[in-house]
Amino acid sequence: MEVGCSSHPRLPRGSLPLRTGSIRFAAIGDSGTGEEPDETPGSASISRERTTKAFRQIFKDAAGRVCKREKRDPNTVVAIFIPALTCLAEAVLSFEFAMPQLSQDGKDLIAAHAKTLAERAQSWKAAKKYEIGESELGLAYRAFTDNLSTLQEIA
């Protein structure tokens, strides 16, 4: 099948003009095939990718700071990670609620997650600090998305 337009009367299907100033369109989601779309704007997988990408360096940095310490006092590990965990929880909430507000239970959830993270930190190896940061980001993201109702303050 061929498609056409006034400036390109007979282009093979799937071709787009690549001239400077030409307009090209791309479809997201269902492009008329009748099949379910893989991803749509606002879908959970897109939200997760954007969120984890934004926080990746922050978690790697925090893991690196912990790994540089000879002694990994749990209170210090918690203090290093609490800001990143709190910001991540607020970001997760912002995808679901127009005016996200962390509840006291949500703050307690973040603190409990930080405490278990501090326990894991006792066995971290400095050579693996970037992998650790990635892993901890994934664990936190899952914990927060699985507990949205706990995080959100109900007005």
Inter-residue contact 152 to 103 (CB < 8 Å): yes
Q: How many domains does the chain have?
A: 1
Q: Is residue 12 part of a domain?
A: no
Lookup: tokens for 37: 């779309």
Total-model pTM = 0.69
Task: State the Cα–Cα distance between residues 3 and 90, nearest whole angstrom.
Answer: 47
Q: Is residue 106 part of a domain?
A: yes
Q: Is residue 89 part of a domain?
A: yes
Q: Is residue 3 part of a domain?
A: no
Lookup: tokens for 151: 């995080």
Q: Is residue 15 part of a domain?
A: no
CA distances from 93 to 28, 88, 131, 135, 145 (A): 25, 9, 25, 20, 8
Domain that holds residue 97: 44-151
Q: Residue 85: what pLDDT?
A: 97
First to last CA, the chain: 57
Residues of the chain whose pLDDT is less than 50?
A: 1-8, 30, 39, 41-42
Q: Residue 120: what pLDDT?
A: 96
Q: Is residue 54 part of a domain?
A: yes
